[in-house]
Structure 1
Amino acid sequence: MRESQAMERGDLAGYAATSATSRGRRYQEEFRDSRPAFERDRDRIIHCAAFRRLEYKTQVFVNHEGDYYRTRLTHSLEVAQIAKGIARRLGLNEELTETLALAHDLGHTPFGHTGEEVLNRLMEGVGGFEHNMQSLRVVDELEERYPSFNGLNLSWEVREGIVKHSSHYDNPLGGHPEFLPGTVPTVEAQLINLADEIAYNNHDIDDGLKSGYINVHQLKKVTIWDEVHQGILRKYPGIEEERGICQTISALIGLLMNDLVVTTASNIENLQIQTQEDVRRVNKQVVAFSPVLAEKNAELKRFLYQNLYRHYKVERMRVKAERYLGELFEMYIKHPTLLPLRHQLKMEREGRERVICDYIAGMTDRFALDEFKRLFEPYERV
């Protein structure tokens, strides 16, 4: 059965990606139903093992530090919610947008960006490590669900968007020969970059306040927070502090989303972009905040970096995580027979270091901590 084109929304903008114009999949398949291509991709991601493991991978706080804090899974869901809201207002393909949001962190390591930095250092000279490329590796090779191929066999546009995801923490390898090196991706993929930022800035404020690592008094010095918070206090005089915080975060997300929609629509109009081909021809990032809001948002990011991400308690966990992952990697290098047999069997084909890197990158925080105990604590059961 063919993938359906008729089931896709009929009110998409001319510059939106569509199943009908997709560059297709790496492998030919016979499908059981007629879902559109990007809807099928979304469903494949939701059902894959790497997506489930995001539940126990660090956003800022390691899983055992509390049940309230965001994980990579809840972060991905929040990115999807924000991105879909923006996509609908811009006439973009919501299924592709949601798919990219749910897939953008599939290659993340345990312990957040610390894990990525450790693996990149340990893999120096043998290919390095970058989590966008690892996400692509997950969906192209590491998921093993289908009888005729490895990976999830996703659409080209999804795979391109994964590789070219860009943020403060990501350095996308736009030179990958399969994905039009030097060109911008679809507008949907561009959107994920800033939906990601809206989500993590605001949920990190929430988690940071809940943990006590930052407080409302400190946030008053941040222009965008203070402007929105004062508006909430005027609208709801006497509101309880916790409710006021929730309302401020909600209003701040709304402000950023609205600004992104207006600015992006204006950019598309000014650049006379009407088709997908125009997006590639113009070759500029059209999804953006206005200059004024971009500067205010940058101030908020600087505040979070200085006061939350570099808080001494977060730093303590970061240093411990470096030790755990570094020692696990070295132990596996010296004694590769400690890995499950199916991973050992891949080493001749893919190399010892890459297989070990894949194995560690796929771990959750919880599994990595348990594995460390199993290998280094003499009284721990193996």
Structure 2
Amino acid sequence: MPNDHNLLGRAPFASDPNRSRGRLHAESGPGERSAFQRDRDRILHSTAFRRLQYKTQVFVFHEGDHYRTRLTHSLEVAQVARSLARALSLDEDLSETLALAHDLGHTPFGHAGEDALDKVMEPYGGFDHNDQTFRVLTHLERRYAAFDGLNLTWETLEGTVKHNGPVKDAPPTIAAFDKQWSLDLDGWASAEAQVAALSDDIAYNNHDIDDGLRAGLFTVEDLLDLPLVGPVFRQVRAEYPGLNGQRLRHEAVRRMIAIMITDVLTETRKRVAEHKPQSAEDVRNLGRALVSFSDEMIAADKAVKGFLFPRMYRHWRVNRMIVKAHRVLQELFGFFIQAPQTLPDEWRRSVADKDPTQTARIIADYIAGMTDRYALEEHQRLFDLTAKP
């Protein structure tokens, strides 16, 4: 019998691991761990998860030890998700699993790398990091004798695909899998998946403000007119006159995270009272998100993103990294598409006898799995004639 400590006090609309739709490939029972706990553990032990340590959030790995990477971001999202799920009496393990998995398909160099791969992959169906995450979970991780991928539960795969809502025009990997085992793409995901999606927003904005201030891309004064952010910084300054630097940042960010979490809980409880869902299927068929920010917080979140885009994500220092990232990944792709026989053995064997589209997808898989550091080193090996192969 699985450990059922997380079943106590469960909301009627929470996901129940004992009623999971199962796995594509049948396995023996979960033993002491629930099905969702096993999913979480498989993600934690995956190669793709370890690589997140050296994949960029905004800053390239060598710019400083204290900036966030995809790994630290994923851990922070998981912490917020678990807290929200517990407060809403949902399955904490499923929310944590989805939070830990959500960035596994990201390329080196953050969104700049994704844009670069999408451009070179345009003739072959494009590149999408959500689809790549799904490829990692269902195909690219090769740790088990009986199957490719991690063979996760239906609920984890569904939540990975639909955490931001119903999916229209599914990208290729997701579309192909959906034909094999339907993920109900036209419906909403579980409440646990919705929690993971909002936890990503909460962590992303607040921690990018922290990193942007740390990097000197903007100042506290630049933030004072923003909703949510400005009032919090003013309040902290009023309570602690003269507080500056690291402590001011951390105190303000801590409070902003708490405010956003409280807003999600208040709005979600209001929607639960309105709709009275009695099962996880009720959540999927609701026709709208059950877990949500309030309208006021949605507007504040949009304003913060609107500030961060030009002041951080398109700051001249970040733009230089973006241009470099585009060049590195496009040149790597161009090299391998012209000479696939130069790929490392495992990948070279994979492209044998493949058509051009399949070959391009395999090359994209190889490049997308690189860390920032490995991509730079591989580029140097291929384009510096004096470098060792």
Aligned letter for 1:54?
L
Aligned partner (choices 367, 374, 377) of residue 381 of structure 2: 374
- Cα distance, 1:253–1:7 mapped onto 2, change above 3 Å: closer
For residues 31 and 83 of structure 2, the distance between their equivalents in structure 1, rounded to whole angstroms, comes to: 27
- CA drift of 1:349 comes to 5.2
For residues 101 and 69 of structure 1, the distance between their equivalents in structure 2, rounded to whole angstroms, comes to: 19
For residues 132 and 268 of structure 1, the distance between their equivalents in structure 2, rounded to whole angstroms, comes to: 29
Q: Is the 8 A contact 2:2 2:30 kept in 1?
A: no
- CA drift of 1:31 comes to 5.5
- Cα distance, 1:46–1:337 mapped onto 2, change above 3 Å: same
User: Can you list the C-alpha shifts for 1:166-200, whole angstroms capped at 9, x where unaligned?
Assistant: 39xxx975875521021000011111111101101
Partner residue, 2:73: 75
Q: Is the 8 A contact 2:333 2:364 kept in 1?
A: yes
Partner residue, 1:59: 57
For residues 213 and 150 of structure 2, the distance between their equivalents in structure 1, rounded to whole angstroms, comes to: 39
For residues 4 and 261 of structure 2, the distance between their equivalents in structure 1, rounded to whole angstroms, comes to: 30
TM-score (structure 2 length as normaliser): 0.93
- CA drift of 1:241 comes to 3.9
1:174-189 aligned within 5 A? 176-177=178-179, 178-189=182-193
Partner residue, 2:365: 358
Q: Secondary structure at the match of 1:125?
A: helix
Aligned letter for 2:267?
T
Aligned partner (choices 197, 220, 225) of residue 201 of structure 2: 197
Aligned partner (choices 298, 301, 306) of residue 294 of structure 1: 298
Partner residue, 2:334: 330
For residues 208 and 324 of structure 2, the distance between their equivalents in structure 1, rounded to whole angstroms, comes to: 21
Gapped runs of 5+ residues in structure 1?
none
1:55-204 aligned within 5 A? 55-166=53-164, 176-177=178-179, 178-204=182-208
Q: Secondary structure at the match of 1:163?
A: helix
Partner residue, 1:278: 282
- CA drift of 1:7 comes to 4.8
User: Can you list the C-alpha shifts for 1:131-187, whole angstroms capped at 9, x where unaligned?
Assistant: 1111111011101111111111100111111112339xxx97587552102100001
Q: How many pairs align? A: 378
CA RMSD of aligned residues (A): 1.9
Gapped runs of 5+ residues in structure 2?
none
Partner residue, 2:229: 225
User: Can you list the C-alpha shifts for 1:281-315, whole angstroms capped at 9, x where unaligned?
Assistant: 21311111111122112111111112000101100
For residues 242 and 172 of structure 1, the distance between their equivalents in structure 2, rounded to whole angstroms, comes to: 43
- Aligned-residue sequence identity (percent) comes to 46
For residues 19 and 305 of structure 2, the distance between their equivalents in structure 1, rounded to whole angstroms, comes to: 37
TM-score (structure 1 length as normaliser): 0.95
For residues 252 and 30 of structure 1, the distance between their equivalents in structure 2, rounded to whole angstroms, comes to: 44
